């Protein structure tokens, strides 16, 4: 009786549970987990190679553009167009839309920047589309608009009793106003964007010189990029988007998407494409795809930047990334059949739109980033039967990352 050892029942239960889990894991690891992980690994490798080849293709195009110094927008003879405008005083009527929602911190800056645009005041309409739910803030925005009206700027303050369609709904309602009938072009600036005063002079002439052009898109310049590590990483990602993805789409006359702001649309092209729709969270991309399928052309002006701010809180960043990740996949699902059956665009443009723009950049890129790097690679550590080589696990992702970083303006400037 003295040699008897009494064991705590709680410890015995815990030990039995651990042994049961280990036994279950050993039974399913080889016949179930290993084949599934092998399949996931091969799929992720294939997607990584596709993403790598897409990055290489864009790097080659950008290298060619820089070596020959022939970006697409440089071929236009804008000086003659500007001289004709100033000589004959035949300025087109331009509408500038500023959609906003509870923009307490930035509404003065955005309205002030737009009202300061260099363009004849009788040929410019500033439309403030305020969907704010804060009545006090609405009053402040209204007062700001009245201040600029007293200075001779044609400002229209528009509000709605609902938020149907959100931003797309506000833009759509704004274009239905009677005073818009005389406007030929519409410029869109989100509430945190501050264009330079010569923005219209550097964009409108492109549209006047080419009647087939529907959109002129400017790049973004971030005033708070150095605020924290998160904003710096966002700057790197978005700089690659503008410096490479948008430039390649414009230079090869294929497709690139509207960024939702800092762009000038020909109103006739917007109407021809069916106007704004709120069926997805990427209404800007939706309009651009439909206009492209109608045969309209787009132009990206890389040397024209508009100041704005990056999300500096994780909540705002998460909301933005969720919209940018889920929206394109949803739009692709809705429009794949329409794109394939469209007869007005070339096979190359269809291929670029389906494979390059949607499938690789908007779907595969997100899948590889999460599923491969966050799930498959860590899982191979727990399952020794699945072997992932260094070139696939390290060198390929590292090369993609280096290509992304090497094309950012800050990197290029530091090398110079």
Structure tokens at 209: 């010189």
Residue among 252, 319, 249 at smallest CA distance from 285: 249
Cα-only R_g, the chain: 26
Residue among 254, 227, 225, 257 at smallest CA distance from 241: 257
Q: Does 284 qualify as catalytic in the annotation?
A: yes
* Cβ atoms within 10 Å of 17's Cβ, excluding its own: 10
Alpha carbons 240 and 234: distance in angstroms, whole number: 10
Catalytic residue among 190, 196, 284, 286: 284
Q: Does 239 qualify as catalytic in the annotation?
A: no
Alpha carbons 107 and 91: distance in angstroms, whole number: 28
Catalytic residue among 130, 131, 190, 239: 131
Residues assigned a catalytic role: 131, 284
């Amino acid at each position: 009786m003295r040699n008897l050892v009494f064991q705590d029942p709680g410890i015995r239960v815990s030990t039995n549970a651990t042994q049961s889990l280990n036994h279950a894991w050993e039974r399913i690891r080889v016949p179930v987990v290993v084949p599934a992980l092998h399949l996931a690994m091969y799929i992720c490798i294939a997607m990584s190679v596709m993403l790598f080849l897409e990055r290489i293709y864009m790097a080659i195009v950008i290298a060619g553009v820089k070596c020959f110094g022939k970006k697409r927008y440089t071929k236009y003879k804008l000086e003659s167009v500007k001289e004709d405008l100033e000589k004959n005083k035949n300025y087109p009527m331009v509408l500038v839309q500023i959609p906003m929602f509870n923009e307490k911190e930035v509404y003065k800056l955005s309205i002030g920047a737009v009202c300061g645009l260099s363009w004849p005041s009788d040929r410019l309409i500033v439309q403030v589309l305020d969907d704010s739910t804060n009545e006090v803030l609405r009053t402040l925005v209204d007062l700001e608009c009245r201040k600029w009206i007293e200075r001779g700027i044609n400002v229209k303050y528009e509000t709605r009793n609902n938020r149907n369609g959100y931003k797309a709904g506000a833009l759509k309602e704004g274009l239905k106003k009677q005073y818009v009938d005389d406007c030929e072009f519409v410029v869109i600036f989100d509430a945190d964007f501050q264009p330079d005063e010569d923005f219209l002079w550097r964009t409108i002439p492109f549209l006047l010189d080419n009647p087939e052009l529907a959109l002129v898109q400017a790049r973004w310049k971030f005033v708070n990029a150095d605020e924290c590590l998160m904003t710096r990483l966002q700057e790197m990602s978005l700089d690659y988007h503008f410096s490479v993805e948008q430039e390649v789409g414009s230079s090869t006359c294929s497709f690139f998407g509207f960024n939702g702001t800092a762009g000038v649309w020909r109103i006739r092209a917007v109407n021809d494409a069916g106007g704004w729709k709120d069926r997805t969270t990427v209404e800007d991309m939706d309009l651009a795809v439909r206009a492209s399928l109608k045969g309209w052309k787009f132009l990206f002006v890389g040397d024209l930047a508009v100041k704005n701010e990056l999300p500096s809180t994780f909540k705002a960043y998460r909301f933005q990334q969720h919209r940018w990740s889920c929206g394109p996949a949803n739009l692709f699902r809705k429009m794949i059949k329409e794109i394939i059956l469209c007869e007005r665009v070339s096979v190359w443009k269809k291929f670029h739109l389906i494979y390059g723009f949607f499938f690789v950049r908007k779907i595969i890129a997100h899948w590889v980033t999460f599923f491969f790097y966050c799930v498959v690679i860590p899982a191979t550590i727990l399952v020794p039967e699945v072997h992932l080589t260094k070139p696939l696990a390290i060198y390929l992702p590292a090369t993609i990352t280096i290509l992304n970083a090497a094309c950012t303006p800050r990197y290029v400037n530091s090398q110079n």
